[in-house]
Structure 1
Amino acid sequence: MSRRARVTPAEAGLPDGGARRRTPGLRREEVAVLAGVGASWYQWLEQGRDISVSPQVLDAVARVLRLSDAERRHLYLLAGLNPPAPEVAPEKRDMCEGLRRLIDTWMPYPAHIMDAYYNCVMYNDAAAVVLGMRPDITQNCLVDFFTDPLYRSRSKSWERNARTVVAQFRAASSARPQDGGYQALLDELTGASPEFARLWAERDIEDAGQIRKELDHPLVGLLCVESTAMKVPARPDLTIVLHTPLDEANTAAKLEWLASPEGRRGAMYPVAG
């Protein structure tokens, strides 16, 4: 009822005839006509009665009431249905400047942001120095994990983490089986890496979370970090990956040195590995 009251007949494409209404917004009968459902059925829906509801009808009602993506998913929950996958609201597509500030503030620790298909959207300076992120690689975190020789040479935990990375990719792609972007990425990885193909055939599945990484950096030696993948509800298409130093190998101090002017100068010169 509250959302019905927000929509004027003119906004819904109905003539209002200039007559005053006792209540603001659309009448129940008008919503029913615009959504293509019966007036009595729509009244029962508003009253929360135990009726049969389909996703198609809820989407029609959501369209008429101009619900946001969050409101549409909430409507599904109220109706007892599994909500659809979150979508990015148009007004939230310009969040990248704020996310850039977030990962830059995470310095001197590595951080990067990737889209639903593991393409790297942005990374901070520490991710470049520590993880080897740079413009001349594919800029796809999953492909580079398996094909970038620089990262492979630094990762002491690669064998252990590869199984987890593939299992997490299967979980993400299984949630959207009709998405051609995941199939294209799967085809690329299967052709580029026999190791990925072997792990994919094992059919392991695992939710994204935290991964321990051990890196052998050419300037400071062993680094032990924990990467945490986090979602931003307003941008469900993006994942923020933050790397936190563990209390081992003096990792925090080493990362701080790598971000210092002296460490940056050292990283400018070619080093084996």
Structure 2
Amino acid sequence: MVGMRVQAELGEFLRSRRARVRPEDAGLPLYGGRRRVPGLRREELAQLAGVSAGYYTRLEQGQSPNASDAVLEAVAQVLRLDEAERAHLYTLARPRTHACRHAAAPERVRQGVRRMILSFGDVPALVLGRFTDVLAWNPMAHALLAGHLDFDAPADPTGRPNIARLLFLDPHMRALYADWPRKARSTVADLRLIAGRYPDAPELAALVGELSMASREFAELWSAHPVADCETGPRAYRHPLVGGMMLTAEFMTLPNDDGQRVAVFNAEPGSPSEAALRLLAGLTTTAPRVSTRASCSRSDAAISGKECERCQGAFLRFVS
């Protein structure tokens, strides 16, 4: 079953990348007439990569698990894959079976990692699980990203905030990003990379299925098959307490914790954004952390983009 999913993922990925390469850009002559497929045909890609059409077809169908580095690199060059896409191709073409232990035991944060993000003080920092669950956050990350949620929510494995879910289904998170479409595409591209690394993960399959059903925007992005690492450049935020900010997120993979990452948010020194972060830090220090488990991050109201009365009340309690 895992093999079939990987084969389908590999085929979808290669077809999506063939579709974006125009024959004339690849140096192929055009003879007029209407082409039945966008981009390169299989036989055209095979010719440019120096392999037989039959071999490339088997590769696209996931039937060549022993494809050489030379073949994969040739295909990557023809398709003009960037670094993240090239790594994704290798992952899909040479799948490894990950143990199903991921479904058996909830992810946990080591105490040393928890103490590390708390030591960051006024710098927002959080720990992401392998499938974008928030495993822990410091008070500043909570105030920056999801002050309307319970601060202790990450401690409950059955109800942890999930960044991808919040981004598409929670109106507070959607409003936080000034360029929400860019953030949405970046998140889906990151999930595609994760799906290649964990093809047998039921948690990820459930998350993708839920978001595909609840969000047309997610479904369209997922079907486009974007692939990229998390963006680390400056991003504009519209925070409900302190206004606009430009923040840069840096991601650090934890080498001893399978798939877990630490995200840290910073502003340019001396900028208005840094002043806004300091203001948020002051508000975070004085504001009580209240339980808001009744918030509707997964409710029909959130899915429709409307805030329910419970969410409004929870947010007013947070800012007061």
Per the shorter chain, which TM-score range?
0.5 to 0.7
Q: Secondary structure in 1 aligned to 2:142?
A: helix
Partner in structure 1 of residue 275 of structure 2:
253
For the Cα contact (< 8 Å) 1:225–1:245, is it kept in 2?
Answer: yes
Runs of 4+ in 1 over 6 A off after TM superposition: 82-88, 266-269
Q: Whose RCO is larger (CA < 8 A, sep 6+)?
A: 2
Partner in structure 2 of residue 126 of structure 1:
140
Cα shift readout 1:248-269 (whole Å, capped 9, x = no counterpart): 8511222122212686349998
Shift of 1:94: 7.9
Alignment of 1:179-190 (within 5 A): 179-190=201-212
Partner in structure 2 of residue 108 of structure 1:
122
Alignment of 1:77-226 (within 5 A): 96-133=110-147, 134-135=149-150, 139-226=161-248
Query: Which of these two proteins has the greater Rg computed from alpha carbons?
Result: 1
Partner in structure 1 of residue 251 of structure 2:
229
What code does the residue aligned with 1:223 have? M
Shift of 1:112: 1.0
Q: Secondary structure in 2 aligned to 1:222?
A: strand
For the Cα contact (< 8 Å) 1:170–1:205, is it kept in 2?
Answer: yes
Q: Quick one: distance in 1 between partners of 2:116 and 2:288?
A: 26
Q: Quick one: distance in 1 between partners of 2:271 and 2:189?
A: 29
Q: Quick one: distance in 2 between partners of 1:184 and 1:216?
A: 30
Q: Quick one: distance in 2 between partners of 1:145 and 1:177?
A: 23
Summarize the Cα distance change of 1:262–1:164 in structure 2 as closer, same or farther, 3 Å threshold.
closer
Unmatched segments (≥5 aa) in structure 1: 1-81
Partner in structure 2 of residue 51 of structure 1:
none
Shift of 1:243: 0.9
Q: Secondary structure in 2 aligned to 1:241?
A: strand
Q: Quick one: distance in 2 between partners of 1:117 and 1:179?
A: 9
Cα shift readout 1:217-246 (whole Å, capped 9, x = no counterpart): 222211111112211111123111111113
Q: Secondary structure in 2 aligned to 1:254?
A: helix
Summarize the Cα distance change of 1:197–1:251 in structure 2 as closer, same or farther, 3 Å threshold.
same
For the Cα contact (< 8 Å) 1:226–1:244, is it kept in 2?
Answer: yes
Cα shift readout 1:184-215 (whole Å, capped 9, x = no counterpart): 11101111211111111111111235253211
Q: Quick one: distance in 1 between partners of 2:203 and 2:277?
A: 35
What code does the residue aligned with 1:225 have? L
Q: Quick one: distance in 1 between partners of 2:288 and 2:275?
A: 16
Query: RMSD across aligned C-alpha pairs, in angstroms?
Result: 3.2
Structure with the larger strand share = 1
Cα shift readout 1:145-170 (whole Å, capped 9, x = no counterpart): 11111111221121111111111110
For the Cα contact (< 8 Å) 1:156–1:214, is it kept in 2?
Answer: yes
Summarize the Cα distance change of 1:180–1:168 in structure 2 as closer, same or farther, 3 Å threshold.
same
Cα shift readout 1:89-138 (whole Å, capped 9, x = no counterpart): xxxx9862111111112221211112111111111111121111523785
Unmatched segments (≥5 aa) in structure 2: 1-93, 102-106, 154-158, 291-314
Summarize the Cα distance change of 1:159–1:232 in structure 2 as closer, same or farther, 3 Å threshold.
same
Number of residues paired by the alignment?
A: 187
Q: Secondary structure in 2 aligned to 1:166?
A: helix
Q: Quick one: distance in 2 between partners of 1:213 and 1:261?
A: 22
Q: Secondary structure in 1 aligned to 2:225?
A: coil
Q: Quick one: distance in 1 between partners of 2:126 and 2:181?
A: 22
Scaled by the length of structure 2, the TM-score of the pair is 0.51
After TM superposition, the structure 1 stretch with the greater mean CA deviation from structure 2, 124-133 or 255-264, is 255-264
Q: Quick one: distance in 2 between partners of 1:165 and 1:199?
A: 10
Q: Quick one: distance in 1 between partners of 2:172 and 2:96?
A: 40
Q: Quick one: distance in 2 between partners of 1:222 and 1:187?
A: 33
Q: Quick one: distance in 2 between partners of 1:212 and 1:145?
A: 18
Q: Quick one: distance in 2 between partners of 1:252 and 1:225?
A: 9
Identity %: 25
